[in-house]
Amino acid sequence: KNEVEQSPQNLTAQEGEFITINCSYSVGISALHWLQQHPGGGIVSLFMLSSGKKKHGRLIATINIQEKHSSLHITASHPRDSAVYICAVRAAGNKLTFGGGTRVLVKP
């Protein structure tokens, strides 16, 4: 079992729909990051979380340290949100582990 699991692996939504991507991890962590990888390959860091909730525009990220779970929500999804979303955790001993990614397609 991977230390970081993302679900779903693939997601298709209609423009305007609310999207949720989940990330579960099995180790104690000091921080969790959400990344967005565009179809062209470029990677953008979206959020860094160690507790609670963060919001940026239509994106919301939450983390529950006790349940070892984080979610990334996209409200009012748009075709430009089509990308692969990757969560990554920083664990003890400076270990950095990435999830396998969730491929999101938003149709107009």
Partner 1 sequence: DSGVTQTPKHLITATGQRVTLRCSPRSGDLSVYWYQQSLDQGLQFLIQYYNGEERAKGNILERFSAQQFPDLHSELNLSSLELGDSALYFCASSPRTGLWEDTQYFGPGTRLTVL
What is the binding site for partner 1 (CB under 8 A)? 31, 33, 35, 41-45, 48, 86, 88, 90, 94-96, 98-101
CA 22, 79, 81, 53 dihedral sign is: negative
Q: In angstroms, what is the minimal distance from the CB of 64 to partner 1? A: 20
- Residue labelled with tokens 């991977």: 2
Cα angle, residue 97 at apex, residues 33 and 56 outer, rounded to 5°: 10
Choice between 11 and 88, CB closer to partner 1? 88
Q: In angstroms, what is the minimal distance from the CB of 78 to partner 1? A: 21
